[in-house]
Amino acid sequence: MLKEREESLRETFLLKSTELAEALLKSSPLSQLRQVAWRRFQELGLPDRKQEAYRRVALKELYLNVSEHTVCEPSLTPTKESIAPLVLPECTRSHLVLVNGQFAPQLSDLEGFSNALVVQSLSSALATYSTILDPQWRASLAGERDPFSALNAALHREGLFLYLPPNTVLKNPLQVIHLITSQESSPLLTPRLHLLIGRQSRLQVAFTRHNLSGEAITESLVTEISLEDGSQLDWIQTGGAVTEELPRDQRFEAVRASLKRGSRLKWSDWTVGAALLRRDLKVALKGENSDAELSGLWMLEEDQRVQSYVHIDHMAPNCRSMQLFKGVLFDSSESHFEGKIYVYPEAQQTQAYQLNRNLLLSDAARATAQPNLEIFADDVKASHGATIGQLDRESLFYLCSRGIPSRKARDLLIRSFCEEVTCKWRLSSLLEEFERYLHSERG
């Protein structure tokens, strides 16, 4: 009976998605992209519990949320004044705003860039930069194995394209403020971003997500990153401010990054909770001497769940990848980390390292990890590892014996555990936010 119920909910999800896809195909300038994406989604199919990649996802709950979804009006209309507290101090003249996945130029301020950064809708970009983007998205969709990522490409309302022309170095960081005011008429909120960083150019991005709707949101967010020769992207993202209530969102995030010769990606994330967050991060080191440094920190409470899947392809010689992901788990929260490093035969002199560490602060908290290496080259330096443990009692006792209150002693040890990740954050305002979280009642 339960299996039949789940299948019925799954069919409802598929029906709603099909209806929306058909409507978008009729009227959208992105019809060609949507058609290819929809065909790929149909080939992959909606996941079920038999699929290993989604075995840990409560699919019944996901499909139930979608089947019960009704059209709702936005709970508020953002203004520049209302979003001012969400703007990072470093980005007062260099931030752009998405409202329910769509670019809102009237709320954005890019004066700090003096028109150096190209910001367009994805439909405009596909027309303007078709020779670059057309083969990229076709290859991306052909190799896509995640059904929700393919569904995002088919159903997104209007993606955002960011292009930094060659030989451009922006000193100011860019903040992308992702506001959610309602889920509107779609069963799945589908924001989509594509970043293209030109040769020898450099950009720093802070992506912040804020659910202001007061309702639980089901979301599929896809970020595509293309780094040309010698370019660099520093990316940090967070799930919201400490002062915000955290609705029971179900979030599916995918990152697809392609690195050419001598390019460098530094990607980091700080997650402070959701009912479910499933992240699928794939990085392809396609050019010699390219470099990817990936890090993440999740801090979970109650019954929140995070699942992180990281796959790095070493496809060229003399490349380096570093992975460091850490989890702090309270209450009955759960996390799962699964990482793979794949080294192609031609990727000689590869350096690849992967580490996942978890700190359990409750007997009911649970963490699992599955590191993986596949190496088909001879000259390689690679390692992987995972640890799961609790606070060191001797260290805690030592601090308390020096007159430090137990709660403060615990916070000091948690901060020390997290520091390997937080030291990579270049924005002081995010470090201050982390400190506020650590000392809040949540933490």
* DSSP secondary structure string for all residues of 110-174: -GGGTT-SEEEEHHHHHHHTHHHHHHHHHHHHHT---HHHHHHHHH-S--EEEEE-TT-B-SSPE
For residues 48 and 59, give the distance between their C-alpha atoms in angstroms, rounded to a whole number.
7
Residues forming a β-bridge with 264:
232, 291
Categorise residue 262: left if φ over 0, alpha if ψ from -120 to 50, beta otherwise.
left
Judge contact between 281 and 309, C-beta under 8 A: yes
For residues 298 and 146, give the distance between their C-alpha atoms in angstroms, rounded to a whole number.
22
pLDDT at 71: 47
C-alpha distances in Å from residue 60, one per residue of 63, 206, 391: 5, 33, 35
Domains in the chain: boundaries: 74-392, 393-443
**Size of the chain in residues:** 443
pLDDT at 53: 83
CA 127 to chain CA centroid, nearest Å: 27
pLDDT at 380: 96
Instruction: Provide, rounded to the nearest whole percent, the portion of the chain with pLDDT above 70.
Output: 92
For residues 376 and 85, give the distance between their C-alpha atoms in angstroms, rounded to a whole number.
50
Judge contact between 405 and 413, C-beta under 8 A: no
Closest-CA residue to 266 (of 206, 187, 307, 327): 206
Segments of the chain with pLDDT less than 70: 1-6, 27-28, 65-76, 183-187, 240-247, 441-443
